[in-house]
Amino acid sequence: MKVVAAILIIFFAGERLYCTFASVRRKNTRRLWRESLFTSLMLFLYSSIVIFNTGFYFFYSPLTNSVIFFSGVLLLLIGITGRRWSIGAMGDDWSVYVAAENIGRVVTQGPFRFSRHPYYWSSILELLGISLLLQCLWGVGLTLCVYFPILIFRSYLEEKRMLDKFPVEYVLYKKTTPFFLWR
């Protein structure tokens, strides 16, 4: 089971790094230093939770529960699929930065029909999946108590910028689409 977990973690880490860094689109570097600090904090927290979970699993966890393991695999796969679907729906407007200046439209298709922040929702599912896959309840706690509140704050920042840029369209979108959870 630990070999399978190691292969999944290596695959996940490579896929996540590629999506985050190799496909970054920068159109406007204004305000980039502030966005870089916040984005760096988010990436640091995300990576720290994954590394913590991995260390816990390989160096401390004595037993592996198959049901929890495969539940984690399922959540991880749903999270990866949701994140990639979100990136695809945003197209050229996707960026790791919270910068509405670079966005040309309010995205309402794909997963954005169900949630205003499906990318963030998918990130939470990924971390919960990793935590369960690696049998680390501390990771579940860190995800829900540390990473999730910061994602909500980031979502509010993003929404404020979207409202400034698209006052009519985004208000209509907010009225018909839930903030974070799927309908």
Domains belonging to the chain, first-starting first, are 2-176 (1.20.120.1630)
- Taking alpha carbons only, the member of 138, 5, 142 closest to residue 70 is 5
- Taking alpha carbons only, the member of 112, 49, 125 closest to residue 81 is 125
Instruction: Give the pLDDT of residue 172.
Output: 95
Report if pTM > 0.75: yes
Retrieve residue 110's tokens: 């794909």
Cα 26 to chain centroid distance, Å, stands at: 19
Q: Which residue has the higher pLDDT, 71 or 104?
A: 71
Instruction: Give the pLDDT of residue 10.
Output: 80
Are 47 and 93 contacting, i.e. CB atoms less than 8 angstroms apart? no
Q: What is the pLDDT of residues 15-27, one digit of tens each?
A: 777 776 665 555 4
Query: Range with the lowest mean pLDDT among 30-44, 98-112, 131-145, 165-179?
Result: 30-44
Q: What is the pLDDT of residues 59-100, one digit of tens each?
A: 886 677 899 999 999 999 999 999 999 989 988 777 776 666
Residue type, position 37, single letter: L
